[in-house]
Amino acid sequence: MRPWKLAKRLVPLFLLFTLVLSGCSSILGDDPSPLNPKGSVGEDQLFLIKLSLFVMTGVLVIVFVLFGYVVIRFRKRKNQTGVPKQTEGSHVLEIVWTVIPLVLLLILAVPMVTQTFALAKDYSESEEAEQVKVIGHQFWWEFQYPEHGIYTAQDLVIPVNTKIAFELTSADVIHSFWIPGLGGKMDTNPGMTNKFYLDAEEVGTYKGKCAELCGASHALMDFKVQVVTQEEYEAWVASMKEPSQAVNEQDALAQGQEIFKAKCMSCHAIDGTQPGVYPNLKGFADRELVAGIKENNAEWIRKWIDDPQSIKPGTLMPNVDLTDDELDALTEYLQSLKLE
């Protein structure tokens, strides 16, 4: 093939690669990501990524340069006939190209194996770590804090600079719990408990995703991680334990509360110390998003209660029959579910 023909084929391919790869960064923008981690686990993993990339790029460059040199230097000349002089066997070369890969493999293997064991450290009995139980559901996340007896959903609240020992399981199919800015992912398997730990070194909001195709709305199974200071965390724990204030009958919210009790309470608890099969709505108004995906404002709350199936196809929240007045009252009531 003529060189320009080859170039004509390769250029579009490289343009396509650039486009595809730029998608990797646009998902997270400047947010923390595996390439810009904000936790010790993510940083250790990034080191391994960089180390292997560095070693492999080095090998690639050297091999291609040698290859190019040989192809050009020993190409068939004009007027050349017959088979060129053949060389066979070289002890020196054979030893060199056996030893170099061995050394490279050692450079890769020693930190990899060491880190694999270090990152598998079990903090589930540790005093200094916070224990969080994660349960994946189609298509939402439940978070339990066994040391505090708290149950919540969609917004994972954790203290900064603290090891979080996760215990992960699933209520239905296999999901995968992933906070790209803090570290690698871990599967949640039905009937099994997986363990791993993460920590965050900066206060802020991080994105979380389900990373295992788990059904129709897998791509919408997002959550948020709120990394807060130790004091804020303790305050959050305390307010999650507070009993929810009852709305009295004269209050404008009373109608919403009535409808909630009649039509929603069978699935949703509003008391943070109650485990539930479905998302616990204690402090729902303080959550970042509705159902992990939509801005938490009156408009989206109303749309969600009116027709969750159109927002998250296949969600286990049914479309409940409600009048416009009831929807307004419920929206207002849900917006009042703030933590003290």
* Contact of 206 with 230, CB cutoff 8 Å: no
**Is the Cβ of residue 123 or residue 139 nearer to Cu ion in the bound state?**
139
Question: Which range of residues in 64-72, 100-108, 177-185, 312-320 is near ligand HEC by CB under 6 A?
Answer: 312-320
Structure tokens at 177: 């719990």
- Cβ 76 vs Cβ 84: under 8 Å: no
- Is 123 a binder of ligand HEC (CB under 6 A)? no
210 forms part of the interface with Cu ion (CB under 5 A): yes
Q: Is 179 in the site for ligand HEC (CB under 6 A)?
A: no
Residue matched to tokens 């790869």: 21
Q: Name the residue nearer to ligand HEC (CB basis): 167 or 332.
A: 332
Using CB under 5 A as the binding rule, whether residue 301 contacts Cu ion is answered as no
Pairing of strands 164-170, 289-290: unpaired
Query: For residues 38 and 312, which CB has a smaller minimum distance to ligand HEC in the complex?
Result: 312
Which of 40, 45, 176, 315 contacts ligand HEC by CB under 6 A? 315
Least distance from ligand HEC to the Cβ atom of residue 211, Å: 16
Distance, CA of 268 to CA of 334 (rounded, Å):
12
* Secondary structure (DSSP) of 26-55: HHHTTS-BTTB--SHHHHHHHHHHHHHHHH
**Does 291 engage in binding with ligand HEC (CB under 6 A)?**
yes
Which residues are CB-contacts of 121 (< 8 A; sequence separation ≥ 6)? 197
Token pair of 102 as six digits = 């061995």
Of the pair 139, 206, the CB lying nearest ligand HEC is at: 139
Closest separation in Å from C-beta 207 to Cu ion: 15
Binding of ligand HEC by 320 (CB under 6 A): yes
Q: Is 221 in the site for Cu ion (CB under 5 A)?
A: yes
Angle at 222 (CA atoms; ends 220, 223), nearest 5 degrees? 155
Between residues 152 and 315, which has the closer beta carbon with respect to Cu ion? Answer: 315
Return the CA Rg of the chain: 28
Residue 287 interaction partner, one of Cu ion, ligand HEC, none, beta carbon < 5-8 Å per kind: ligand HEC
Identity at 69, one-letter amino acid code: Y
Structure tokens at 130: 């916070």
- For residue 268, state whether it binds ligand HEC (rule: CB under 6 A): yes
Name the minimum Å distance from CB 138 to Cu ion. 7
Number of residues that bind Cu ion (CB under 5 A): 4
Q: Which residues contact 184 (CB under 8 A, 6 or more apart)?
A: 34, 41, 42, 45, 178
Residue 291 site contact among ligand HEC, Cu ion, none (CB < 5 to 8 Å, cut-off depends on kind): ligand HEC
For residues 169 and 194, the answer to whether their CB atoms sit within 8 Å is: yes
Site membership for Cu ion, residue 168 (CB under 5 A): no
Cα–Cα distance, 331 to 306 (Å, whole number): 10
Distance between CA atoms of residues 173 and 188, nearest Å: 8
By CB under 6 A, tell whether 279 contacts ligand HEC.
Answer: yes
Q: Which residue is nearest to ligand HEC (CB)?
A: 264
Residue 198 near residue 179, CB atoms below 8 Å: yes
Query: Which pair of structure tokens corresponds to residue 136?
Result: 């994946």
Note whether 329 binds ligand HEC by CB under 6 A: no
- Binding residue for Cu ion (CB under 5 A) from 175, 224, 282, 302? 175
Q: In terms of CB distance, is 42 or 292 closer to ligand HEC?
A: 292
Near ligand HEC in 130-169, by CB under 6 A: 139-140, 153-154
Give the residue, chosen from 107, 119, 211, 267, that forms a contact with ligand HEC under the rule CB under 6 A. 267
Binding site for Cu ion (CB under 5 A): 175, 210, 214, 221
